[in-house]
Amino acid sequence: MHSGLIPTFGPRIPDYLGADWIARTAFLNDVDAGSPAGRPDVAVLVSRADADAHVSDSGVAALWLPGFLDSFFHVEQADAWREAGIALYGLDFRRSGRALRVPNRRDDLRDLLIREEEIFAALTHLRGCGARQIVLIGHSTGGLQAALFAHRHPGEVSAVVLNSPWLDHNGPAWQRTVATTAISQLARVSPLTPIARLQPAYARSLHVDYGGDFYFKPMHKPLTPAPVFAGFFAAARRGHAMVADGLNIKEPVLVAHSDASGNPLNPSAQELAHTDVVLSVEDMKRLAPTLGKNVETLEVIGGRHDLSLSELPARSRYTRDSIHWALRQLQR
């Protein structure tokens, strides 16, 4: 159910990313069958403490949409965008990351489009700070969300960067057809049935406690196996069907991806470090042209699934080239 009301983000509170980072919570109005009983969903907007003032001065901002079982912790990206003159904000969607209210219902989503409410809330906040141009950045499922949002709401953002977007199911043909039909039917009667468990090898490869380069709270991005619910998968597949039918994004789009996919079920250490072990790179290449008429691609050699968390020099190339691309679009 879509109320049409745009929520506002509340007072700033300190965030774990550092002394100069803050988070704001918005209480949401729209509901689907996965909404927590008796209390509203929330979304959380994360930024450096001086981000609003920076946007007021520059008139430009960027908004980061995380993926499935994900959260915003991308301090390095925020620093790079700020050096280019753009304040970067992260949005933790309802039922994920900082906005997870029922721990055993992580990403229990029955309709991807319901998250447009918090995207609108974040964009409204940025415009209230003085943003005249906004770059929308989406990773994985957040990339699918970003593409659908830009297609459905032309003119809301100035440019779209898709970081390894989830544009189709990464599996054999029978899973894309027969299994999708079966799971969609299951989702109607038992949406909380787990159809798979996402293994933690990839997330662990990123985390400092397992030898990675980044710190995030495991309560926000799990380091243990996590279920994929039938209701969520069915919702995602409806989004994939929209992509397959062809989108018409008016704004310029950059689709960035690794040069290779690894084994998603049992990846080697080499694959974890230098390939996308979550999604199919070929799907991204195949479907990028269907997103709109002004689509460019960026292939990052040795890139991980989240290109911004790749090992060096891959993440440096993604960061540099995606920001330079965005700046070119904003200057046109």
Q: For residue 203, give the nearest of 10, 62, 68, 107 by alpha carbon.
A: 68
Euclidean distance between CA atoms 160 and 153, whole angstroms: 12
Q: For residue 324, give the nearest of 273, 268, 256, 266 by alpha carbon.
A: 256
List, as one string, the DSSP characters of 223-248: SS-EEEEHHHHHHHHHHHHHHHH---
pLDDT tens, position by position, 58-92: 999 999 999 999 999 999 999 999 999 999 999 99
Percent of the chain with pLDDT over 90: 92
**In the 8-state DSSP scheme, what is residue 153?**
S
The alpha carbons of the chain give a radius of gyration, in whole angstroms, of 18
What integer pLDDT is reported at residue 50 of this predicted model?
98
Domain 11-173+247-331: which CATH number of 3.40.640.10, 3.40.50.1820, 3.10.310.40, 2.60.120.1570: 3.40.50.1820
In this predicted structure, the answer to whether residue 194 has a pLDDT above a threshold of 60 is yes
Q: In this predicted structure, which of 51-55, 180-184, 295-299 has the lowest mean pLDDT?
A: 180-184
What integer pLDDT is reported at residue 2 of this predicted model?
63
Residue 56 sits at the vertex; the CA angle it makes with 51 and 57, to the nearest 5 degrees, is 100
What integer pLDDT is reported at residue 174 of this predicted model?
76
Please answer whether residues 160 and 147 qualify as being in contact, where contact means their C-beta atoms are separated by less than 8 angstroms. Answer: yes
* Domain extent listing, the chain: 11-173+247-331
Q: Any bridge partners for residue 62, and if so which?
A: 88, 135
332 band by pLDDT with thresholds 50, 70 and 90: confident
